[in-house]
Chain A
């Protein structure tokens, strides 16, 4: 079974700073996807970024980038030039590449961006 661990329950930074959220996972699979989801107070689950495990290049989406270390089973999210709208819960999640599109989530990190 796969497990996902987020060791930072809460984080807080000032607007415009850079923040990194940590995530580790455990799996015996070779091919899989990793995700970061954002959940603002509206509770909508918003996909921030996705990484395919077979790709060595780290995924980026505008101000969001990941540091994917497959051997270490680590998948951190970096938010550059943080904005007030980035305040949310952030979930790291794992999905096997083949078969059911089942997501396994970490416990989440509550990120607060202060003005």
Chain B
């Protein structure tokens, strides 16, 4: 398997624009997580899905953020409208229940000007 695949690797956008980050989890995994990494806050969990269903979105900072998982092989994290304080690295990770293993993508670095 190719591992967790994220796109884009880098995105630079202007304030107010819509940003969509994409993730393809490892085939067969039933959990998918979106994390955000910033210097100030470290690694924080935004939302996670189990079998494509959002389980806990309490980490989503505000209504400008939304995440979907329309099927087992694809998820998106959308920011609309984007703001400079959204600049961060966004990681997607997937795992299988009760295995104690989580696999990370390479992250998407977002810069909002």
Residues of A at the B interface (CB closer than 8 Å) are 33, 42-45, 47, 50, 52, 91, 95, 97-108
Contact = CB atoms under 8 A, between A and B. Distances in A.
Taking residues whose C-beta sits less than 8 angstroms from the other chain, chain B's interface range is 20 to 34
Given A44-B104, A102-B56, 17 more contacts: A43-B109, A44-B107, A45-B93, A52-B100, A97-B98, A100-B48, A100-B56, A101-B33, A101-B95, A101-B97, A101-B99, A101-B100, A101-B101, A101-B102, A104-B45, A106-B42, A108-B43
What secondary structure prevails in chain B residues at the interface with A?
strand
B97 A99 contact: yes
Contacts of A108: 42-43
A43 B106 contact: yes
Q: Determine the main DSSP class of A at the interface with B.
A: loop
Nearest to B102: A101
Contact of A101 (B31, B42, B106, B107): B31
Contacts of A33: 100
B100 A95 contact: yes
Nearest to B33: A102
B7 interface: no
Contacts of A52: 100
9 contacts: A45-B93, A45-B104, A45-B107, A100-B55, A101-B31, A101-B96, A101-B99, A101-B101, A102-B48
